[in-house]
């Protein structure tokens, strides 16, 4: 059984002190919760802080980005070994904002994915289509290409460890959302593609999660779709009570 992942992506929000307050409160709220993998992705400046506060709890920490080189003249970047030293366990790769605003491509996503796996970080690989691609009926074509190129030269055993986040770009922060059944169909398509490319074990073991205006109000319907194994949560993860409600709404999947 795939235990759901509920992941908070704070983006460029929260100072180190604000991160401490949030994480301490979340620790208290989830003290009796099991069968859910909880991950927080704070800004770089709060990574070590959140790792320290979350130590010994059910909360894991993710980085929002990583460079594919171990070190070098890359101002403003961070390497996988630096993240490992800080106690990070997961890393978000290829978020749509990185693709749109910082010109990330499937090729760079692939390089970041490889360096993450080499350094025993669990990648959270983001894929998804734009509004224009969605309206043109190209959603599945875009997803297929992102999977093919982003996972190039990754073996089946490595795919088993991945978390793949499907996030329709047009839904992020817009208040719009795919109907849960539609989101479920896209996730089923992704799992089918994984089966075709990497085999049964990889397709069954790989976690597929949904991102795009996930809220306490829609998490229950989303999480009950057979191929949706959790959520990548943006704005709704900035408030600890809202994030806790999303975690609570996922419990029915975690205990099935």
Half-sphere exposure at residue 250, Cβ-oriented, CA atoms within 13 angstroms: 31
The bridge status of strand 163-166 relative to strand 37-41 is unpaired
What b/e sequence results for 57-92 when a residue is b if at least 16 CB atoms lie within 10 Å of its CB, and e otherwise?
ebbbbbbbbbbbeeeeeeeeebbbebbbebebebbb
* End-to-end CA gap in the chain: 9
From the list 188, 244, 192, the residue with the least C-alpha distance to 219 is 244
Which of the following is catalytic: 129, 167, 187, 207?
Answer: 167
48 is catalytic: no
Is 18 within 8 Å of 238 (Cβ atoms)?
no
167 is catalytic: yes
Which of the following is catalytic: 67, 90, 95, 187?
Answer: 95
Give catalytic residue positions: 95, 167
């Amino acid at each position: 059984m795939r235990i759901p992942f509920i992941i908070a992506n704070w983006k460029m929000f929260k100072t180190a002190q604000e991160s401490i307050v949030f994480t301490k409160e979340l620790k208290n709220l989830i003290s009796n919760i099991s069968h859910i993998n909880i991950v927080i992705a704070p800004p770089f400046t709060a990574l070590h802080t959140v790792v320290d506060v979350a130590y010994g709890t059910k909360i894991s920490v993710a980085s929002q980005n990583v460079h594919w080189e171990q070190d070098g003249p890359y101002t403003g970047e961070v390497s996988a070994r630096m993240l490992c030293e800080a106690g990070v366990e997961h890393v978000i790769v290829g978020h749509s904002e990185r693709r749109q605003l910082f010109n990330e491509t499937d090729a760079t996503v692939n390089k970041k994915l490889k360096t993450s796996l080499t350094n025993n970080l669990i990648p959270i690989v983001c894929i998804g289509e734009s509004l224009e691609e969605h309206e043109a009926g190209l959603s599945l074509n875009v997803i297929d290409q992102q999977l093919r190129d982003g996972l190039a030269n990754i073996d089946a055993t490595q795919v088993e460890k991945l978390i793949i986040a499907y996030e329709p770009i047009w839904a992020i922060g817009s208040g719009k959302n795919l109907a849960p059944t539609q989101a479920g169909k896209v996730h089923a398509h992704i799992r089918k593609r994984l089966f075709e490319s990497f085999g049964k074990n990889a397709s069954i073991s790989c976690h597929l999660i949904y991102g795009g205006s996930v809220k306490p109000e829609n998490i229950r319907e989303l999480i009950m779709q057979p191929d949706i194994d959790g959520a990548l949560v943006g704005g709704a993860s900035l408030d600890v009570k809202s994030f806790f409600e999303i975690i609570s709404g996922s419990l029915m999947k975690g205990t099935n």
